[in-house]
Amino acid sequence: MQKVQPSFFLLTAICLLIVCVAFGVGGCQRSPSLSEAAQIRTSQTIEVSAADITTDIQNRLNITDMVSVSRENLASYFNIYVDDIEDYSFLVSSSESKADELAVFKSSNSDSVAEIKTAVSNHILSKEDSFKNLDPVEYQKVKDAVLVDYDQYVFLAVCNDPESASKAFEAYLK
């Protein structure tokens, strides 16, 4: 019988330990259950731009012929301090004879949400006056407009189905 060197046993033990650690650590982790995966997803903050929200709502409700209003031109629609707005998207009908509008304003601070909502509400009142004697269908759209605030957001929908638009907006924030 041949005598085995102690270093052979030591070398074999080290190799075996490395193999066990390499496969054991990675292979023994369990995947999260479905409920754990849902908790992981809901605990992550998902940032969506205001433009993404209005574009998605516009596409879902098939609202066509809308144009975006630039930050510089917001003052012609709203009595609003633009520095209070962190992000926004304001879409208006490309035709002056249509009342359709979609807007999402993200306030730069929670104190200015009420001011933004008041400015948008005043805009709607002015728009009502404009369409009152112009077109009864478009006037009714303005009368049925949805204006809501949620956390740091203010949302406006003047369209054929403002309730569906509002529900789509709220889905982004929950």
Q: How many domains is the chain built from?
A: 2
Does 1 reside within a domain? no
Phi, psi angle pair for 44, to nearest 5° = -85, 140
Contact 66, 93 (CB under 8 A): yes
Query: What is the domain range of residue 27?
Result: 6-43
Q: Assess whether 33 and 98 both reside in one domain.
A: no
Q: Assess whether 26 and 68 both reside in one domain.
A: no
Which pTM value belongs to this model? 0.72
pLDDT for 172: 87
Contact 138, 98 (CB under 8 A): yes
Contact 164, 56 (CB under 8 A): no
Q: Assess whether 10 and 90 both reside in one domain.
A: no
Q: Assess whether 88 and 61 both reside in one domain.
A: yes
* Cross-strand pairs, 103: 90, 156
Running along the chain, 174 residues long, what does each successive block of 10 average in pLDDT? 52 47 43 34 59 95 95 93 94 96 95 95 96 94 96 96 96 84
pLDDT for 6: 52
Contact 161, 61 (CB under 8 A): yes
pLDDT for 18: 52
pLDDT for 174: 77
Q: Assess whether 71 and 140 both reside in one domain.
A: yes
